[in-house]
Chains A and B, each alone.
Chain A
């Protein structure tokens, strides 16, 4: 049974001042198993952050169900959510902004215990020290304010806080995006380490395919509020079938590209889509280089590919896109393929 399950969830935001409603998430189903990492990838405006907030019950679904360990928590009020929250924690993008600037690190770190009525008494400080050293922060002054630490240190503190109650899953919304490249790698390593030692699950949301491809067991690709492709990390990174996934993989500039003379990337035209103005048929068709008539008219269902468990929402896949996908995958691994 899945630990965290979003079942056909939708979220519509009604705008104030009579603006029209925006459907940020439109019927998405994803599940994260015990000890598993699900990576959710997509560009800005695709609804991935809203999905993270739905999973964390920070906003309520307009439609669909949210289940945690088999319990339907969709209608749970905050009081009933409390025991669930102990098992379901979060890490956010900007570590400085996600910590209260006027609280010392000691106060930040004791908040989870206070909130969940965990009385540690005199053992509190030792426990805080233990958590901080677990995330690689030995001997920091916990009486300092967040503003006195670097971004990398703060993200470690945020992770330590998320681990305080020994949750079973952490939902991480762009956990590395606000950090310098050398620090990003440290945080990725830390998250992998935690998973190895504690066996927790992750739902990681990011626009960074490199990070997602590295840490995830399974990947779901979002476009304009829907999932357009889903599968194991290997299949998505190496043999993507949806033209959008292929373009996404192909667009991200990498070191590998430098070694591949003559490799042509799939270039998408146009802007990222606007959730307030959803195209007919396949939502991706205005930017798709393979689009044909049916794509403008009919919404492609998310269908499972035989054998691999890969799911794709495209009228063309897999017959017509498999080759291009394998090529993109090879180009990305560049070095491995070349040597």
Chain B
């Protein structure tokens, strides 16, 4: 296991109240896999991803453990975490401008990460920056190295950000909604690039997204987060094609517009995701769940093995039934 998360919780203090955003989740990520964290806004997916890289908001309180390559990440001083980000963990975001400095040429920024980590001297780093840009399929890497972020197109910026994240040779790449703002044709390019880079560089990828299409494309294993708790975790095929948790099933069916006959009612989940501090009792999904019964309101479902997956649900969907749900 390259990453082990145990009973991880993160929360905030607001107006004297403790608001728990992620409430005791555990999962493992194996070396070389693409592990996808699915969730809607407020599910805690980004907080979880950022905490893995030691980037939780400074005002947050955390508990539990996040072990990356046998190092505890949660209680590590900032200076040490900074040393890990780059050579061990790379990060990419939805908005490339958030990680690229607008007043610095792209190539210099990539080279700087190498120099800062003592991986290369200035001249060597510059050469490696060009190589890195080539590696992310930028057609004219020499021109782009000396360009400022605003001088290159959105797609190129996205690639430059990936190049920067990977320059120092990390083994884990955390991608937080990397395709959310992209057009479909560019999104397809980006997914292909990530798949290729993963192969070439033997990367482990943790992808955080709410785009089921993207998930279907790349996921090996999937973690479904709902209101700060794990709904379901397991192999992608089981979760996408035979979802057992009613929430996952609903997510998948509402994402299957192209398989629903035109103009017919889609299988939508009622209501909206609960906000921070307003998580329901018992199973947090119960107010929106079509299968909810009395026990769901009162008792928080424990996590248990169910077929190929682990889930937290009192009344999961049996395999034969789930196929039907997936087809309706």
**A touches B in complex, CB < 8 A:** yes
Which A residues are closer than 8 A to B by beta carbons?
43-44, 150-153, 180-186, 188-189, 192-193, 207, 209-211, 213-215, 233-234, 237, 247-248, 250-259, 265, 267-269, 271-272, 274, 332-336, 339
CA gap between A105 and B80 in the complex, in Å: 50
B140-159 contacts to A, CB under 8 A, are 153-156
Nearest Cβ in chain B — how far from A301, in angstroms?
A: 24
B311 to nearest A CB, angstroms?
A: 18
Q: What is the CA–CA distance of A267 and B188 in the complex, to the nearest angstrom?
A: 7
With a cutoff of 8 Å between Cβ atoms, the chain A residues found around residue B275 in the complex are 150
Contact: A214 with B272, CB < 8 Å?
Answer: no
Least CB distance from A11 to B in Å reads 21
**A248 pairs with B185, CB closer than 8 A:** yes
Closest to A251 in B: B188
Chain A CB within 10 Å — which of B184, B191, B259, B266 has the most?
B184
A198 to chain B, nearest CB (A): 15
Q: A43-B183, A192-B265 are in contact. Are A259 and B153 (CB under 8 A)?
A: no
Render B17-42 as a binary contact track against A, CB cut-off 8 A, 1 for contact.
Answer: 00000000000000000000000110
User: In the complex, are the beta carbons of B216 and A272 less than 8 A apart?
Assistant: no
The answer to whether B210 and A214 touch across the interface, beta carbons within 8 angstroms, is no
Interface size on B, residues (CB 8 A): 49
A43 to B188 Cα, complex, angstroms: 13
- CB pair B263–A255 under 8 Å, yes or no, is no
A261 to B328, CA, bound (A): 22
**CA distance in complex: A150, B40 (Å):** 12
How far apart sit A255 and B213, CA to CA, in the bound complex (Å)? 6
Chain A: which residue is nearest B181 at the CB level? A44
Assess whether A272 is in contact with B217, with CB atoms less than 8 Å apart. no
**In the assembly, what is the distance between CA of A214 and CA of B255, in Å?**
12
Determine if B52 is an interface residue (Cβ-Cβ < 8 Å): no
Interfacial chain A residues near B237, Cβ < 8 Å: 258
B residues in contact with A268, CB < 8 Å: 185, 188-189
Asked if B212 CB lies within 8 Å of chain A CBs, one says yes
Taking the closest CB of chain A, its distance from the CB of B162, in whole angstroms, is 15
* Contact residues in A for B133 (Cβ distance below 8 Å): none
- Is the C-beta of B59 less than 8 angstroms from some C-beta in chain A? no
What is B's interface to A at a CB cutoff of 8 Å?
40-41, 153-156, 183-189, 191-192, 210-214, 216-217, 236-237, 240-241, 250-252, 254-260, 262-270, 272-273, 275, 327
Given the known interface contacts A192-B265, A335-B259, the answer about A255 and B252 at a Cβ–Cβ threshold of 8 Å is yes
Q: Is the Cβ of A189 less than 8 Å from the Cβ of B258?
A: no
Q: Is the CB of A213 within 8 A of B259?
A: no
Identify which of A184, A250, A256 contacts B258 (C-beta below 8 A): A256
Q: How far apart are the CA atoms of A277 and B236 in the complex, in Å?
A: 43
Beta-carbon nearest neighbor of A254 in chain B? B213
Across the interface, which residues of A come within 8 angstroms of B273, CB to CB? 150, 180, 182
Q: Which residue of B lies closest to A265 (CB)?
A: B188
Asked if A258 and B241 sit within 8 Å, CB to CB, the answer is yes
Considering the chains assembled together, what is the distance between the CA atoms of A330 and B283 in angstroms? 39
CB pair A334 B265 closer than 8 Å: no
Q: What residues of B have a CB within 8 angstroms of the CB of A185 in the complex?
A: 254, 257, 266-269
Q: Is B258 in contact with A181, judged by CB distance below 8 angstroms? A: no
In the bound complex, do residue A180 and residue B40 qualify as a contact, i.e. CB atoms below 8 Å apart?
yes
- The complex places the Cα of A209 from the Cα of B187 at a distance, in Å, of 14
Residue of A nearest to B275 (CB): A150
Say whether B192 contacts A267, CB under 8 Å: yes
Contacting pair A215 B268 (CB below 8 A): no
Cβ B186 vs Cβ A272 within 8 A? yes
Nearest chain A CB to B257's CB is how many angstroms away? 4
- Determine which residue in A209, A213, A253 has the highest number of CB atoms from chain B within 10 A of its CB, and name it: A253
A–B pairs, 6, beta carbons within 8 Å: A43-B186, A44-B183, A209-B184, A233-B262, A255-B240, A256-B258
A213 touching B258 in the complex, CB below 8 Å, given contacts A150-B272, A186-B268, A253-B217: yes
Task: Name, among A214, A247, A274, A334, the residue most crowded by chain B CB atoms within 10 Å (CB to CB).
Answer: A214
Contacts of A237 in B (CB 8 A): 258
Chain B residue numbers with a CB within 8 Å of A44 are 183
With A181-B210, A271-B186 as known contacts, state yes or no: A214 contacts B241, CB within 8 Å. Answer: no
Inside 8 A of A152's CB, which chain B residues have their CB?
272
How many angstroms from the CA of A180 to the CA of B41 in the assembled complex? 7
Cβ-defined contact, B251 with A182, below 8 A: yes
Other A-B contacts than A183-B40, A214-B266, A255-B259, 9 sampled, CB-CB below 8 A, are A181-B40, A188-B268, A192-B265, A248-B184, A248-B185, A253-B191, A253-B216, A254-B213, A255-B256
Shortest Cβ distance from A225 into chain B, in angstroms? 16
- The smallest beta-carbon distance between B315 and chain A, in angstroms, is 19
Decide: B265 and A253 in contact? CB cutoff 8 A. Answer: no
